[in-house]
């Protein structure tokens, strides 16, 4: 039996923050287009990024373009499609793409097998396909069998399980690899990583953070390799606002101490 996990503490020190999006920062909705990010959450994200000197990134199954729409006008470092596309702090973007003929062949196979099933949505991304069956839970075996049959034909592809979704994506990308890539470059390098996520896709991110002896935080009650747990998305919002307030408090204390020491030296 998995040991009970505690709520994460408020942190003080040099940290790098990584957030999943859906189910972590934003509440899950019946359709991905219905998701929104509350204004106060956006505010606290901006504050945390500022207090961390830019060491904050989103790592999501969504594309970078989608994430930008939720967080505009901010342009955070981002990893989209589980890391198949990534943008660093300087705005440089790295994208892993699949050959057009491979994408076309997969699209045709998916449409032929799943296109007429009510409640199953085929979402095409720049280098992946997400098969949603939240509105057709009885179709789960068919969706999984179709996805497995397709990936069996391509050595460079793998399946990624999620909540009422299975993705066909390049096998050499995952959220853990995205964490490693960010941690190898400023402003993340030299800091302690913190990663919050809710889904099976986030387990690779937790594992990477654990390798750095960082702070891995599971959102929800499912089994996990994370070391801390938050109950749900509102709990994430509360922790985020509390973390910002704590950092600001620590900064104010340091500033007053510095002013006092400067005053003392001037006497």
Active site residues: 20
As given in the structure block, the two tokens for residue 32 are 């991905």
Q: What is the DSSP letter of 59?
A: E
Longest dimension (CA), the chain: 82
Three-state DSSP state, 104: helix
Q: Please, how many CA atoms are within 13 Å of residue 61, restricted to the half-sphere of its CB?
A: 28
Closest CA to 200 of 235, 236, 174: 174
Angle at 252 between CA 246 and CA 253, to 5 degrees: 90
Instruction: Kindly state the helix (H) or strand (E) to which residue 209 belongs, with its residue range.
Output: helix 203-211
Residues paired with residue 8 on neighbouring β-strands, in sequence order = none
* Inter-CA distances, 78 with 64, 104, 138, 180, 202, Å: 6, 27, 34, 13, 15
Length of the chain (residues): 267
Per-state percent for the chain, helix, strand, coil, to nearest 5? 40, 20, 35
Distance, in Å, from the CA atom of 267 to the CA atom of 264, rounded to the nearest integer, reads 5
């Amino acid at each position: 039996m998995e040991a009970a996990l505690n709520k994460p503490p408020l942190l003080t020190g040099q940290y790098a923050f990584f957030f999943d999006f859906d189910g972590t920062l934003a509440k899950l909705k019946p359709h991905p287009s219905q998701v929104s990010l509350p204004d106060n959450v956006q505010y606290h994200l901006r504050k945390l990024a500022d207090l961390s000197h830019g060491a904050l990134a989103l790592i999501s199954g969504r594309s970078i373009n989608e994430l930008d729409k939720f967080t505009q006008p901010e342009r955070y470092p981002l990893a989209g499609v589980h890391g198949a596309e990534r943008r660093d702090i300087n705005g440089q973007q790295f994208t892993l793409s699949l050959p057009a003929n491979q994408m076309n062949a997969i699209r045709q196979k998916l449409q032929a097998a799943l296109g007429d099933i009510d409640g199953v949505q085929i979402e095409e991304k720049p280098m992946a396909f997400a098969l949603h069956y939240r509105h057709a839970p009885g179709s789960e075996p068919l969706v999984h069998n179709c996805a497995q049959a397709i990936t069996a034909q391509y050595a460079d592809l793998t399946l990624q399980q999620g909540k009422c979704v299975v993705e066909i994506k390049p096998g050499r990308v995952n959220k853990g690899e995205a964490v490693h890539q960010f941690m190898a470059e400023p402003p993340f390098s030299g800091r302690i990583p913190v990663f919050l996520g809710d889904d099976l896709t986030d387990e690779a991110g937790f594992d990477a953070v654990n390798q750095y002896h960082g702070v891995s935080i599971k959102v929800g009650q499912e089994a996990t390799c994370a070391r801390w747990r938050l109950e749900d998305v509102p709990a994430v919002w509360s922790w985020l606002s509390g973390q910002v307030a704590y950092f600001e408090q620590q900064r104010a204390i340091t500033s007053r101490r510095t002013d006092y020491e400067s005053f003392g030296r001037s006497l």
